[in-house]
Amino acid sequence: MNARFRHKWSEGRDNQTMKTNNNPIGVFDSGIGGLSVWKELRKALPHESVVYLADGKNCPYGDKSAEEVEGFVLRAIEELLRHNVKLIVVACNTATAVAIDLLREKYDIPFVGMEPAVKPAALTSESGVIGILATRSSLQGDLFRNTCAKYADKVKILSAVGEGFVECVESGEENDAEVAEPIVRRAVMPLLREGADKIVLGCTHYPFLAAHIEKLVEGRGVEIINPAPAVARRTAWLLSEYKIKASESHKAEYRFVTFADDGYLAKITDKAMQLAEM
């Protein structure tokens, strides 16, 4: 428990006259991927300040052990709490799969986690086959296994690791078709061949490769599902529920933090600025 934060949080919760809170939202990912969520948060919540923490030093998380990832996540949360964040969006499916229960137990602050969007895909699939793209760690976690078990009688759930996806996005090569297209084709084509009509982007890095996936599914009646807008809606709902929305007059500020070097920080900031202009 972070005592300093609990004290602040309790003050806000107990005082019923306090209906706004201009402290920032914390957003965390292993790297650049969580910016796909940051972009939606910014759109949905224009008055909210955001501190975005991209680990960068230990990315990718997807092939590391659960113990290792848990350690990285705890360090990241402690760092965000130093920025007085009022709510944390774990904009990383892998970190959510490994640590969300622990985080909710350990810290008295609302968390929004991410998990592959199996439910909307399963409920809307017409072919009865859905394809989930995610990291190895997310696909092996209990969270994914339990969600799949719920929908296994409705649809056939195929899954594939996006091998090389995270590295491609981290190196800024996502728009280089020669590099990105073969990587994407390798993971997506087997799902299409087996009849998937939904492709779920179960890692926050993957939306940055969506244009290549779109090219592959063109004309096949396949929907690509990116859960980031739903995560932004869930965040908005929680802010209202806990009465910690920023005031309408608050001018949002965006900060970027990393455990990597200044070059990495510049890369994250540049990417965010590009997304803000889109």
Q: Could you list the active site residues? A: 92, 203
Smallest gap, in angstroms, from Cβ of residue 60 to ligand DGL? 3
Query: Please, which of residues 214-243 interact with ligand DGL by CB under 6 A?
Result: none
Query: Please, which of residues 115-144 interact with ligand DGL by CB under 6 A?
Result: 135, 138
Nearer to ligand DGL, 205 or 245 (CB): 205
Asked if 100 interacts with ligand DGL (CB under 6 A), we say: no
Q: Please choose, from the candidates 95, 191, 164, 93, the residue with its C-alpha nearest in 3D space to the C-alpha of residue 134.
A: 93
Asked if 271 interacts with ligand DGL (CB under 6 A), we say: no
Asked if 62 interacts with ligand DGL (CB under 6 A), we say: yes
Among 45, 59, 139, 225, binds ligand DGL (CB under 6 A): 59
Q: What are phi and psi of 146, to 5 degrees?
A: -65, -40
Give the H/E segment covering residue 52.
strand 50-54
Nearer to ligand DGL, 114 or 244 (CB): 114
Dist CA 177 CA 233 (whole Å)? 32
Query: Please, which of residues 137-196 interact with ligand DGL by CB under 6 A?
Result: 138, 166
Nearer to ligand DGL, 89 or 246 (CB): 89
Among 23, 30, 49, 159, binds ligand DGL (CB under 6 A): 30
The string of DSSP codes covering 156-192 is EEEEEE-TTHHHHHHTT-TT-HHHHHHHHHHHHHHHH
Dist CA 100 CA 197 (whole Å)? 30
Q: What are phi and psi of 247, to 5 degrees?
A: -70, 155
Longest dimension (CA), the chain: 57
Smallest gap, in angstroms, from Cβ of residue 9 to ligand DGL? 26
Dist CA 224 CA 139 (whole Å)? 18
Q: How many residues bind ligand DGL (CB under 6 A)?
A: 16
Asked if 33 interacts with ligand DGL (CB under 6 A), we say: yes
* Contact present, 98 and 66 (Cβ < 8 Å): yes
Nearer to ligand DGL, 252 or 265 (CB): 265
Asked if 203 interacts with ligand DGL (CB under 6 A), we say: yes
